[in-house]
Amino acid sequence: MASYILRRIWGLIPVLIGVTILVFMIMHLSPGDPAKIMLGPKATTESIAKLNAELGLDQPLYVQYFTWISNVLTGDWGRSLQLKMEVLPLVADRFGATLLLTLCSILIATAIGIGSGIISAYRKFSWTDRSLMLFVLVGFCLPVFWLGIILQIVFGLKLQLFPISGMYSPGQTGLMDLFLHLVLPSLALSAGAGAVIARMTRSSMLEVFEQDYIRTARSKGINERRVIYIHALKNAFIPVLTVLGMQIGFLLAGAVLVEMVFAWPGIGTLMVNGILARDFPLVQGVILFVATTYVIVNLIVDILYAILDPRISYQ
Amino acid sequence: MKPQLQNEQEKVLNPTVVMEGKRGKRADGPWKIACKKIIRDKASMVGFVLLFLFLCLFLLAPVLPLQNPVEVNLAKRLQPIGTPGNMLGTDHLGRDMLSRLIWGGRVSVVIGFIAVGIALVFGTILGLVAGYFQRFFDTVIMRFMDILMAFPYVLLAIAIIAALGPGLLNTMIAVSIVGIPYYARIVRSSTLMYRNMEFVLAQRALGAGHWHIIVRHIFPNCLPPLIVAASLDVGWMILAASGMSFLGLGAQPPLAEWGVMLSEGQKYIRVAPHESLLPGLAIFLVVLSLNLVGDGLRDALDPKSK
């Protein structure tokens, strides 16, 4: 098992190097002189040359890459041109808010997705199953930013149950206040992932319900709940876990849209504002941070997958 | 020889005679069987009808008696649904919502289809080359695809827009690039399966060139999974492109585009919720119809999916 984990980590290195090259190239793919774009149309030749020298943009590309990557590895991710702050602490600080939002959404999506998937599979082809699958289809097709606006209108403006924007009310820092602000954005973000998990749970459970060991368990007179939750779900969970791992990436990225709707102070808002202000070091930093997190999350899911399913070969 | 016996002998010698029914018709081909399955599938038929209606509406926008979608009329701003002369109300600049929705639909649907088209063409070429030639081509192409897939989709699209700059065309390019690895993988796996099959080996033995084999014999066999993937992907592309416009990275105002309309309408949700609700509903219905169509195609073309 340990050698399998080591091999997976080893296999990750080329992917991470590729990711860093791609992220680095973002700045150099942009048409025109990056320094000119950053400084705007009124920039003088001297100021452009000065910024080029400051950012090392007058060096050959491979030199720039090695300088950049060695800086990244030592924790120097550059300075935001717009906010005049170090990028890494800024991204790490904002990432906390995004992570909180993503984790809450995963919890909601998993609970709703697995719950409705089990019910659907257990009552297959009944009206309950059909209605649940209709909801799943709706959740799958809903634009996440539109669902956010609907939740704002219904639960925020009409029913006035939850606040519609921000992370805290002005002057407040309490946990309850944070929870109230978290409800609507996490619900909006969890819809799509919940739908995918529900579909996967249903098909996986339907397959498991047909297996001989489930028939054997039932014929032994085991309580039906025990058959579903202990015998069936345990085996049906493995493909669900893979989907769950993939959804974490979608949620991290989808959080950008939800954060913009709810003015949630995460990395999404930071990145979009960075792009609109052509703040390349900041944008590079955010993309590198999220992509690396995504790659590591996938690794963890793969390892969990191997731990949960002994049939998977470690060779 | 008795006629009946002669008939039996003919059946043995010529199997196509057996395939012909009592009325002398040939057995249905795989595409005809798929069409019949789709027609029997109520949900996918609903999807097809909805999609057809939307496409007709968007195509006919220039000849329909609609108001100018970008004409500002501040005297009539934020009119509710059902206002005489503005069936679906007006937005914060007094522009007709119905007209903007239909013209916006043209933009969104065109982006969706073109983006899928670009991703499909490049992904197919890369997948065919990687799967058929293997070795160096396979390693280089698929490692690059792995790196692209190491990013969450939306994030990669945002990253590409960050490089190219915000705008409608750049959004289309970005979502297309994000889609390429998806098609490359599908086509590569099909190519790997078919490249060693007898019909391909026979072509090689007859001296057919690589490109002839790829284009005439392998590519047609990759089509069913590609059609299914593309039909499900158009909806995703529309969602992604309107999402980019919503963030201010895609289409720019005053262009009538659903994402832009939603973003502008969000500022007025307290006084005119219809301004943000209607474009979102339009996106939802189009994506829903595309998904129903895609699900139907998948069930019809991929027997394993049932």
SS3 letters across chain B: CCHHHHHHHHHHHCHHHHHCCCCCCCCCCHHHHHHHHHHHCHHHHHHHHHHHHHHHHHHCCCCCCCCCCCCCCHHHCCCCCCECCECCCECCCCCEHHHHHHHHHHHHHHHHHHHHHHHHHHHHHHHHHHHHHCHHHHHHHHHHHHHHHCCCHHHHHHHHHHHHCCCHHHHHHHHHHHHHHHHHHHHHHHHHHHCCCHHHHHHHHCCCCHHHHHHHHHHHHHHHHHHHHHHHHHHHHHHHHHHHHHHCCCCCCCCCCHHHHHHHHHCCCCCCCHHHHHHHHHHHHHHHHHHHHHHHHHHHHCHHHC
What number is the average pLDDT over the span B236-263?
Answer: 92
Q: What is the pLDDT of residues B5-35, one digit of tens each?
A: 455 555 444 444 444 445 556 667 777 887 8
Contact predicate B289/B47, CB 8 Å: yes
Of A18, A31, A291, nearest to B155 by CB-CB distance is A291
The number of C-beta contacts closer than 8 angstroms across A and B is: 138
pLDDT of residue A61: 85
Q: Is residue B170 part of a domain?
A: yes
3-class DSSP string for A19-64: HHHHHHHHHHHCCCCHHHHHHCCCCCHHHHHHHHHHHCCCCCHHHH
Check A249 against B152: CB less than 8 A apart.
yes
pLDDT of residue A313: 56
pLDDT of residue B16: 46
Respond yes or no on whether the N-terminal peptide bond of residue B254 is cis (omega within 30° of 0).
yes
Q: Using a CB-CB distance cutoff of 8 angstroms, which residues of chain B are in contact with residue A272?
A: 158, 247-249
Residue of higher predicted confidence among A127 and B225:
A127
Q: Is residue B65 part of a domain?
A: no
Distance between CA atoms of B36 and B69, rounded to whole angstroms?
41
Residue of higher predicted confidence among B67 and A39:
B67
Is the pLDDT confidence value at B101 over 50? yes
pLDDT of residue B163: 85
pLDDT of residue A279: 83
Check A287 against B248: CB less than 8 A apart.
no
pLDDT of residue B283: 95
Residues of B with CB under 8 A from a CB of A: 143-144, 146-148, 150-155, 158-166, 235, 239, 242-243, 246-249, 262, 265-266, 269-270, 273, 276-277, 279-281, 283-284, 287-288, 291-292
Q: Is residue B273 part of a domain?
A: yes
Of B151, B273, B291, nearest to A137 by CB-CB distance is B291
Q: Is residue B74 part of a domain?
A: no
Q: Using a CB-CB distance cutoff of 8 angstroms, which residues of chain A are in contact with residue B160?
A: 26
Check B143 against A18: CB less than 8 A apart.
yes
ipTM: 0.85
Query: Which domain CATH number covers B207?
Result: 1.10.3720.10
Q: Binning pLDDT at 50, 70 and 90, where does residue B262 land?
A: very high
Q: What is the pLDDT along chain A (315 residues), one digit of tens a residue?
A: 778 888 888 888 888 898 899 888 876 766 666 677 777 777 788 888 887 787 777 788 888 889 989 999 998 888 887 888 899 999 998 999 999 999 999 999 999 999 999 999 999 889 999 999 999 999 989 999 999 999 999 999 999 999 988 888 887 778 899 999 999 999 999 999 999 999 999 988 998 888 898 899 889 888 888 888 888 888 888 878 878 877 887 888 788 899 999 999 999 889 988 888 878 889 889 999 988 888 888 888 888 877 777 766 554
Q: Is residue B83 part of a domain?
A: no
Average pLDDT of chain B to the nearest whole number = 86
Q: Is residue B168 part of a domain?
A: yes
Residue B209's domain comprises 34-58+105-301
Tokens of B56: 């007709």
Q: What is the pLDDT of residues B226-242, one digit of tens each?
A: 888 898 899 999 999 99
In total, how many domains does chain B have?
A: 1
Is the pLDDT confidence value at B298 over 60? yes
Q: Is residue B182 part of a domain?
A: yes
Residue of A291, A286, A260, A263 whose CA lies nearest to A82: A286
pLDDT of residue B2: 46
Q: Is residue B266 part of a domain?
A: yes
Q: What is the pLDDT of residues A176-191, one digit of tens each?
A: 999 999 999 999 999 9
Of A26, A145, A294, nearest to B150 by CB-CB distance is A294
pLDDT of residue A168: 87
Sorted by sequence, the CB contacts under 8 Å of residue B208 that are 6+ apart come out as B217
Contact predicate A264/A101, CB 8 Å: yes
Q: Using a CB-CB distance cutoff of 8 angstroms, which residues of chain A are in contact with residue B302?
A: none
* High-pLDDT (> 90) share of chain B, %: 47
Residue of higher predicted confidence among B98 and B300:
B98
* High-pLDDT (> 70) share of chain B, %: 90
In the numeric block, the tokens 């339907």 are attached to A206
Check B154 against A150: CB less than 8 A apart.
no
* Alpha-carbon gap: B233 to the closest alpha carbon of chain A (Å): 12
Q: Using a CB-CB distance cutoff of 8 angstroms, which residues of chain A are in contact with residue B276?
A: 146, 149
